Amino acid sequence: MPKGDEISQALAANEAFYRAFAARDLTAMARIWAEGADSICVHPGWTPLFGRDAVMESWAGILSNPAAPRIRCIRARATVQGAFARVVCYEVVERNILVATNLFVREQGTWRLCHHQAGPASGEAAALGEAESEGAVRSKRLH
């Protein structure tokens, strides 16, 4: 498959992840996460979760929470490296801007998510996001 198509498909898989997140659609979220690869999820401010069961349990909690904040993804950028694809993007979560790494593996011809880490984005990113959001938080460089 041409590399451009691989990248487009990785970006589409990433969009599907945030669509499921925003729509609080646990069924879609379960389809998006890989079955065969070890799933790891590092939600911001959580301890890392290892294994599909723990990861899906976390999503069941997040997506069923009526107080869960709205989320959308901006400025996604995909990199394909053979058997895996990485998407780095910003997440606009109400007044916070986060930066996320999403790692996808091929399963039956489809990119499926096996790793997610999100954490506070930089002040610069937050400033960029301000144009697209209602506001933003600042964070500091830790090293």
Report the residue number, 16 or 21, with the smaller CB distance to a copy of itself.
21
Q: Do 125 and 97 touch, CB atoms closer than 8 A?
A: yes
Shortest Cβ distance from residue 38 to a copy of itself (Å)? Answer: 5
Q: How far is the CB of 86 from a copy of itself (least distance, A)?
A: 6
Q: How far is the CB of 141 from a copy of itself (least distance, A)?
A: 4
Phi, psi angles (nearest 5°) of residue 117:
-135, 130
In the bound state with a copy of itself, the residue whose beta carbon lies nearer, of 48 and 135, is 48
Whole-angstrom Cα distance, residue 107 to residue 48?
23
- Residues interacting with a copy of itself, by CB under 8 A? 37-38, 40, 42-48, 50, 62, 68-69, 71, 77, 79, 81-84, 86, 88, 93, 96, 98-99, 101, 103, 105, 114-115, 117-125, 139-143
CA atoms in the 13 A half-sphere facing the CB of 137: 14
Q: Rounded to the nearest whole angstrom, what is the least distance from the CB of residue 100 to a copy of itself in the complex?
A: 8
Report the C-alpha gap between 112 and 124 in whole angstroms. Answer: 30
Of the pair 26, 105, the CB lying nearest a copy of itself is at 105
The continuous run of DSSP H or E covering 105 comes out as: strand 96-107
- Closer by beta carbon to a copy of itself, 16 or else 78: 78
Please choose, from the candidates 77, 59, 70, the residue with its C-alpha nearest in 3D space to the C-alpha of residue 92: 70
